[in-house]
């Protein structure tokens, strides 16, 4: 089994430098870090985490709490988080809460029992007062989520801006009956997106959108069911914003089955820029969320907080999303006819 | 904060029974387990794992090692593993190896440092002799993978049977030029599936299939590229087996773009029964892998090994997959014309 000395020799660096890289010391150049990582990979060197843990009170492990792994948005986010953590010498462990308050607490308990150095939460199930008690034991940051009263760093997308942008685009093209599918109201981001959407509608003096609003819609099957409801409406919407691409795909598949033309009869916009949006006919217009930037910033921030032992700091890191124009968004014949 | 006594009181059971449930004692009825879990959920009770760990030398944590979380097959598998582990009172942590030998060792090291009670490996990157050394510290099982020489329980799909079944089906319908896309040759399951496929071809006295064999193909983009190669062949294949549904989707999207009819010009079969297979036109025929059964068996086996402290036991748990007939598999006009 290779030792830290073997790594130093192969990398052509001192034992102290290698040790600094292993312990995530701030004053080591990226070049030296890469040399050490390359040598470690070549030798199959594994730092003895028990000894390391005793020495510096660290486990080298960061936990990410996510509601559901099978959601493609989250699996994409986790993939980048893991690669970033790894490049900084941390192991990432992923914990699925399944939206359960109790599971969230059990995983947060890993901080208390010193099994992880820090926690990244991608959603919040308990009241913040419950989460806050864990901040006595280590750093917690929010990624893709924000909570008003939380004294922690928050890395998130400006969803209000995003909801406003998509609504504004549709309104400017003459749509007035715009359906809106939301995955759920528990997340702050989801609420903000809806608020952005509504404020654009209010600016355009449109107020009676209750009948076009659908909650807890997040799968292909949900989208298919929603379309059945739309189809039976007296004044069916001419456009629809789906909170997830899977929902948009469900809407479109059901619409086509029932002889509707997309976008001829209904303009559809999804969210998340998933691969499937390019494979379906018509290709689905979607909103790109800056997942990679958000993941990188989250790892940078949690590492800093672990290193500085700062457990209660308020910080806002906000990013913007972008609309991708595709077939499902263009040439709505209802509008051509009425405008 | 609630105590074990509060849980016992609310569940209407003795403190000993609650403690038995928490420690995964074998002689507790499912009914009592449910009562305890319900009371725990209601009270937000979190067992103190540090104390628990000192008492019984257990962490209550199982680690799952997977190559890539964003692969929909694995994210589906993990989701069920997590729910099963949770129902047995274990926390599941998910560790992404990114096919790296070094990362695999670092995560296996969690056994050595007593940070987890057991490990489920869904792929194997290192030589088994390397993995075997970790078996001194706790139980490891293989899920969706098997290794000939490994002295551990293995829960997997009979891929040889599956490859044989799909090839046989196509051969019986008159196909003789069958393309085969494989994700990679490092996994035993992938090799076995190819062997099954080849043995069906050999039985049918077809031997020159090298030109129709494609390796390291696993994404939509890969599928699109493969189609460009097929299209330029003198004797293009009449059928294609894709190792993953994403590849089948890529093949079909590119084929349609270039004016091919699916299945008229090319019959396509995918693997894994992903949602997208139902949304694409034509709907993609695919092979259902028994993910749920495999996940449940894996958790049952790892819990048993943790409980009995059996770290080196050879066990085989083998399951079969099933072909789902859909449009992409039917009525190939090339065959109609030649048969």
How would you write A259-304 as a 3-class SS string? CCCCCCCCEEEEECCCHHHHCCCCCCEEEECCHHHHHHHHHHHHHH
CATH of B61-157+290-320, one of 3.40.1350.10, 3.40.50.2300, 1.10.10.10, 3.30.1370.140: 3.40.50.2300
pLDDT number for residue A321: 94
C-alpha distances (whole Å) from B225 to each of A32, B173, B185, B215 are 38, 27, 19, 12
B4-56 is a CATH 3.40.50.1820 domain: no
Say which of A41, A75, A107 has its CB closest to residue B69: A75
DSSP category for residue B267: E
Nearest CA in chain B to A95: B93
User: Is the separation of the CB atoms in B295 and B77 below 8 Å?
Assistant: yes
Tell which residue, A112, A103, A82, has the closest CA to residue A94.
A82
Residue A182 parent element (H or E): none
Cβ atoms of A302 and A139 within 8 Å: the answer is: yes
- Please, which residues bridge with residue B323 across strands? B287
Domain residue spans in chain B?
A: 4-56, 61-157+290-320, 159-289+324-338
B4-56 and B159-289+324-338 in the same fold:
no
Look over chain A and give the mean of its residue pLDDT values, rounded to a whole number: 89
Looking at beta carbons, which residues of chain A come within 8 Å of B130? 44
Q: How confident is the model at residue A334 (pLDDT cuts 50, 70, 90)?
A: low
| pTM: predicted TM-score of the whole model, two decimal places | 0.78
Cis peptide upstream of residue A98 (ω within 30 degrees of 0)? no
B280 touches chain A (CB under 8 A): yes
Write out chain A residues lying below 8 Å of B95, CB-based: 91-94
Q: Point out the residue among B49, B53, B276 whose CB comes nearest to the CB of A276.
A: B276
Parallel/antiparallel/unpaired status of strands A285-288 and A322-324: antiparallel
pLDDT band at A306 (very low <50, low <70, confident <90, very high): very high
Smallest Cα–Cα separation from B124: which of B110, B103, B94, B109? Answer: B103
Interface touch A91/B101, C-beta < 8 Å: no
Helix (H), strand (E) at residue B147: none
Spell B147-181 as b/e; 16+ CB within 10 A means b: beebebbbbbbbbbbbbbbbbbbbbebebbbbbbb
**What was the pLDDT predicted at A268?**
96
Nearest to B263 by CA among B326, B218, B338: B326
Contacts of B20-26 with C-beta under 8 Å, sequence gap 24+, read B21/B89, B22/B47, B22/B52, B22/B89, B23/B52, B23/B56, B23/B58, B24/B88, B24/B89, B24/B90, B24/B303, B24/B306, B24/B307, B26/B307
> Which residue in A209, A279, A220 sits closest to A251, CA to CA?
A220
Contacting residues of A for B223, CB less than 8 Å apart: none
- Find residue B119's DSSP bridge partners: B63, B140
Q: What is the pLDDT of residue A153?
A: 97
Cα–Cα dist B83/B79, whole Å:
6
Name the residue with higher pLDDT: A52 or B23.
B23
Round to whole Å and give the CA distance between A19 and A55. Answer: 12
Shortest alpha-carbon distance between residue B65 and chain A (Å):
10
Instruction: Report the candidate in B199, B209, B211 with the shortest Cα–Cα distance to residue B176.
Output: B209
What does the alpha-carbon distance between residue B275 and residue A72 come to, in Å, rounded to a whole number?
A: 12
**pLDDT by residue for chain B (339 residues), tens digit each?**
577 888 899 999 988 888 888 776 777 888 888 888 888 877 767 665 544 554 556 889 999 999 988 888 888 899 999 999 999 989 999 999 988 999 999 999 999 888 899 999 999 999 999 999 999 999 999 999 989 889 999 999 999 999 999 999 999 999 999 999 998 766 788 899 999 999 999 999 998 888 999 999 989 999 999 999 999 999 999 999 999 999 999 999 999 999 999 999 999 999 999 888 988 889 999 999 999 999 999 999 999 999 999 999 999 999 999 999 888 888 776 665 443
Q: DSSP letter at A64?
A: E
Residue of B nearest to A52 (CA): B113
Over residues A205-216, mean pLDDT: 91
Sign of CA dihedral B165, B168, B173, B177: positive
pLDDT tens per residue across span B323-332: 998 888 887 7
Q: What is the DSSP string of B42-77?
A: HHT----HHHHHHHHS---EEEEEES-TTSHHHHHH
Question: Which positions in chain A touch B69 (Cβ < 8 Å)?
Answer: 69, 75, 78-79, 82, 94
DSSP structural state of residue B289 = P
Instruction: Tell me the CATH architecture of domain A159-289+324-338.
Output: 3-Layer(aba) Sandwich (3.40)
Residues forming beta bridges with residue B64, ordered by sequence position: B94, B120
ipTM of the complex: 0.74
Residue B297: enclosing H or E segment and its boundaries? helix B291-308
Residue linked to tokens 């196909």: B175
Lowest mean pLDDT among A255-269, A310-324, B23-37, B71-85: B23-37
Helix (H, G, I), strand (E, B) or coil at B109: helix
DSSP single-letter state for residue A210: G
């Amino acid at each position: 089994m290779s030792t830290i000395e073997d790594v130093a020799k192969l990398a052509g660096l001192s034992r102290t430098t290698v040790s600094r890289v292993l312990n995530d010391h701030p004053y080591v150049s990226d070049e030296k870090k890469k040399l050490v990582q390359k040598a470690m990979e070549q030798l199959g060197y594994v730092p003895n985490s028990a000894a390391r843990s005793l020495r510096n009170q660290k486990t080298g492990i960061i936990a990410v709490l996510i509601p559901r792994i099978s959601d493609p948005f989250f699996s994409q986010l986790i993939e980048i988080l893991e690669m970033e953590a790894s490049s900084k010498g941390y192991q990432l462990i992923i914990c699925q809460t399944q939206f359960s308050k109790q599971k969230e607490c059990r995983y947060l308990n890993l901080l208390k029992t010193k099994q992880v150095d820090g926690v990244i939460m991608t959603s919040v199930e308990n009241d913040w007062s419950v989460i806050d008690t864990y901040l006595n034991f280590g750093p917690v940051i929010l990624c893709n989520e924000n909570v008003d009263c939380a004294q922690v760093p928050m890395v998130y997308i400006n969803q209000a801006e995003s909801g406003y942008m998509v609504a504004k685009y549709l309104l400017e093209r003459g749509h007035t009956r715009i359906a809106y599918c939301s995955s759920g109201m528990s997340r702050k981001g989801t609420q903000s997106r809806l608020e952005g959407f509504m404020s654009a509608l209010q600016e355009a003096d449109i107020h009676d959108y209750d009948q076009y609003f659908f909650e807890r819609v997040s799968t292909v099957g949900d989208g298919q069911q929603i379309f059945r409801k739309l189809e039976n409406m007296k004044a069916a919407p001419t456009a629809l914003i789906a909170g997830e691409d899977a929902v948009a795909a469900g809407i479109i598949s059901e619409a086509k089955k029932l002889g509707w033309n997309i976008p001829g009869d209904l303009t559809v916009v999804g969210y998340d820029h998933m691969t499937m949006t390019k494979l379906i006919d018509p290709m689905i217009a979607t909103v790109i969320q800056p997942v990679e930037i958000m993941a990188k910033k989250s790892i940078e921030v949690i590492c800093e907080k672990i290193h500085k032992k700062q457990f209660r700091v308020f910080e806002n890191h906000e990013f913007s999303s972008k609309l991708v124009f595709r077939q499902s968004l263009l040439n709505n014949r209802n509008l051509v006819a009425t405008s």
